[in-house]
Amino acid sequence: MTSLPDAAERTLPRGRSLPVPRRVVLFNVKYSPNLGDGLLSECLERELGRALPGCDVVSVDLAGRRHYPLVHGPARGAVLALLERCPASLRRLLAGAMLHLLLAFRLRAHYRRALRGAEAVVVGGGNLFTDADLNFPVKIWGALGEASRKSVPVAVFAVGVARTWSRPAARLFGGALGRTAIVAASVRDEKSRETWSSHFRGTTAPLPDVVVDPGVLASLHFPVALRRKGSRKIGLCVTDPLAVRYHSTRASAANLEAWYPAALQSLVAHGFEVALFTNGSPEDRGYLYRRFEEWIRRAKGPVTLSRSFDDPAALTTFVSGCDGIIGHRMHACIAAFSFGVPAVGLRWDPKLDSFFDMSGRSAHMLDPARVSGREAGERILAALADPFDPRPLIARAQAQVAGLAASLQTILAERALARR
C-alpha cells in the first residue's frame, strides 16, 4: 500500500494535516447468510471508522441485501444442488445470464445510490476475487463501473483470490480494475498474492500487499461471553457436504456423513460437552436439522443444538463462550483465534490453511478425507494444550487498517492539490 510518510512529504506543505474523507463505501457481502462475511465486514467498518474519526464508513452489499437474513430458508441449497448437476459450461452460461439481468435491473441502481457523496471506495475483505459461476466477477464489474463513472478512488483490501478463473471471469475482473483508479491493493494470504500477480500480469493493477483478515479484530469489536468455570464445551461447526463439494472438491466431502457422528462420539468419549452450530448459511442449517437427532442419539452424551444466529454478534458471542471449536468455516476459526479459543480447522479450501499458517496454528489443521472422526477428541485436546497469544496478529491487523486509512487520506490530499 502507499507509504504515508513518503506520499505526504511529496505532496503536502509542512504542517498540513491529511484530510479525512466524509464518506467511504465498502463493497462486500456483509449481509450474506454466512455470518462470517458480516463478521469481517463489521470489523473492517468499525476499525476503519476508528482510524478515520468523523468519517461515515458504510458497507454496501454486492448482492443488494440491506439487512441480515431473518429467514433461514432452503432456496440457496436448492439452487446449489441444481447448479451442481449442470455441466460447468451450461451452469456458467445460465448463472451469467441471470446475473447480468440482475445487474441491469436492480444492482446498478443499488450501487449508484450507495455511492452518493462517497469520496473513496474499498472492495473487501472476503473471498471476492473468485469465480463461482461468475457471481463476483459480474457484481464487482458492475460496482466498480459505477465508481469509475464518479471518478472515485478505489482500494482493494484483504481479499481472497482464487487460482482458477473462467475466461469470462478474467475479462470481467480485468475490465473492472482496468477502468478504475486503483490506489492500493492487498490480499489476505500469500497464495492470493501469487494468483493476483498471475491473473493481472501485464496490466496496470498494483502488486498487492499481504494483510491479516480483518475478522481477527472480532474481540475488539464484539462482546465476549463468560465461560462457565470448569466447562469443557466444544463447538462443532457443521457445513453441508454439498457446500464443501461446490466450493472445493468432491473428495473433501466424501466422508463427512460418517465423519461428523464419529467426531461427536469421540468428543463425548473424551469428556467434552458438544454444541452443534453453523455460520448461518441456510444449506448448512438445513443439513444440520436433518441430522442432529440421529447424531445426538448415537453420541450418547451431552450434545446440544445451538440456536440460529441472527447476526455476527450472536455468532461471536457463542464462539467466545466455547473452550474450543472444530469446523470448516474460516471465520468461525478466525473469531475463535481472536478470543483466544483454540480451534481445529477442517481442511477444504486453501484459505483456511493460509489463516492457520499465518496464525502459527497449522499443526491444528485436520483433513477429514484422511483423518477419521474418531480422532477428533485427541486433536482438540492437542489444540487445547497448545497455548497462543492472539494480540500480535490483532495489533498487526489494526496497523494495516490504519495504513489503508492513511492511503485514502493521501490520495485525497494529492487530488485536492492537483485541482488547485
Same domain, 290 and 404: no
Same domain, 71 and 100: yes
The average pLDDT across 342-364 equals: 96
Total domains present in the chain? 2
Instruction: Please give the single-letter amino acid code of residue 334.
Output: I
Same domain, 364 and 229: yes
- Confidence label for 11 from pLDDT (cuts 50, 70 and 90): very low
The total of other beta-carbon atoms located within 10 Å of residue 66's CB is: 9
Q: CA distances (Å), 59 to each of 26, 48, 219, 265, 325, in order? A: 5, 11, 20, 42, 29
Same domain, 11 and 151: yes
pLDDT at res. 329: 96
Same domain, 132 and 268: no
The answer to whether residue 228 scores a pLDDT higher than 80 is no
CATH of the domain at 372: 3.40.50.2000
Same domain, 309 and 237: yes
- Confidence label for 420 from pLDDT (cuts 50, 70 and 90): confident
Condensed to tens digits (0 to 9), the pLDDT of residues 269-284 reads 999 999 999 999 888 9
Query: Rounded to whole angstroms, how far apart are CA atoms 176 and 182?
Result: 10
User: In this predicted model, which residue has the larger pLDDT, 362 or 86?
Assistant: 362
Look up residue 114 and give its three cell numbers. 450507495
Same domain, 66 and 50: yes
The answer to whether residue 305 scores a pLDDT higher than 80 is yes
Same domain, 279 and 300: yes
What DSSP line would sit under 299-341, residue for residue? HTSSEEEPPPPSSHHHHHHHHHTSSEEEES-HHHHHHHHHTT-
Q: CA distances (Å), 142 to each of 169, 203, 208, in order? A: 13, 19, 22
CA nearest neighbour of 28 among 172, 176, 207, 157: 157
CATH of the domain at 65: 3.40.50
Same domain, 200 and 230: no
Q: Pick from 6-10, 210-214, 238-242 the range whose average pLDDT is largest.
A: 210-214
Q: What is the mean pLDDT of the chain?
A: 90
Query: Rounded to whole angstroms, how far apart are CA atoms 223 and 350?
Result: 29
Instruction: Please give the single-letter amino acid code of residue 232.
Output: R
pLDDT at res. 76: 53
In a domain, 59, yes or no: yes
Same domain, 330 and 242: yes
Distance of CA 401 to the CA centre of its chain: 16
Contact 308, 285 (CB under 8 A): yes
The average pLDDT across 180-206 equals: 94
Condensed to tens digits (0 to 9), the pLDDT of residues 200-216 reads 999 989 999 999 999 99
Query: Rounded to whole angstroms, how far apart are CA atoms 253 and 287?
Result: 13
Q: Give the residues across from 303 on adjacent strands.
A: 274
In a domain, 307, yes or no: yes
In a domain, 230, yes or no: yes
In a domain, 177, yes or no: yes
Q: Give the residue numbers spanning the domain of 77.
A: 4-215+394-418
**CA Rg value for the chain:** 22
- pTM of the full predicted structure? 0.91
The answer to whether residue 6 scores a pLDDT higher than 50 is no
pLDDT at res. 17: 78
Same domain, 96 and 122: yes
| 125: preceding bond cis by omega (within 30 degrees) | yes
Look up residue 129 and give its three cell numbers. 476475487
In a domain, 34, yes or no: yes
CA nearest neighbour of 55 among 24, 16, 19: 24
pLDDT at res. 89: 64
pLDDT at res. 4: 38
Condensed to tens digits (0 to 9), the pLDDT of residues 149-183 reads 999 999 999 999 999 999 999 999 999 999 898 99
In a domain, 220, yes or no: no
The answer to whether residue 326 scores a pLDDT higher than 70 is yes
Q: CA distances (Å), 68 to each of 72, 311, 314, in order? A: 10, 6, 12
CA nearest neighbour of 132 among 103, 160, 92: 92
pLDDT at res. 7: 38
Same domain, 237 and 312: yes
pLDDT at res. 355: 97
The answer to whether residue 249 scores a pLDDT higher than 80 is no
Q: CA distances (Å), 395 to each of 214, 234, 332, 391, 400, in order? A: 11, 27, 20, 6, 9
In a domain, 359, yes or no: yes
The answer to whether residue 86 scores a pLDDT higher than 70 is no
